[in-house]
Amino acid sequence: MPQGQALLETVGTAFARLRRRTLQAPIDPPVGRKDVKRNLVLNTVDEAAKASTEMTIGGLADHLLVDPSVASRMVSDCISHGYLVRAASQQDGRRTVLQLTEEGTVLLSHFRHQQRQAFEYITRESLAGHQRVAKATAAGEP
């Protein structure tokens, strides 16, 4: 296997492990399944807005690599909880686009705070493991 391909496979495995560990980190309040889905939706809509592009349900489905019916249910959940609204496109009034509400922006900020907590926990845990190995090596232990 070429070295570059092996590196990419290693990185992919590391990202998958990081995601699992992030979801398992002891943060307050804990992350639920709905939170993970809402976080994906809200982040995608927010990224589109920051890039001055419009996000539709079809566009969201493409970004998340899910069926449009799945994306539609995810969006309906966010709308019913007040995190997103549908609005007429400013580029094509026949299309409906997604926009964050104030509540959605607050929730997205909350999710980002939870992610920081998880990454800080993982970093501390990883650093402690490296320190244990370094101490054992310095003491001549295998």
pTM: 0.72
**CB contact at 8 A, 107 and 82:** no
What end-to-end distance do the CA atoms of the chain give, in Å?
31
Q: Which pLDDT tens digit goes with each residue over 35-93?
A: 889 999 999 999 999 999 999 999 999 999 999 999 999 999 999 999 999 999 888 88
Side-chain half-sphere of 39: how many Cα atoms within 13 Å? 14
**CB contact at 8 A, 78 and 43:** no
Map tokens 């590391």 to a residue.
14
For residue 29, what is the enclosing H or E element? Answer: none
pLDDT at 6 over 80: no
Map tokens 């982040």 to a residue.
43
Distance from CA of residue 34 to its chain's centroid? Answer: 12
Q: What is the mean pLDDT of the chain?
A: 83
Question: How many Å apart are CA 84 and CA 35, to the nearest integer?
Answer: 14
Report the SS3 class of residue 97: strand
Amino acid sitting at position 32 = G
Q: Write the CA distances from 126 to 63, 89, 132, integer angstroms.
A: 31, 46, 10
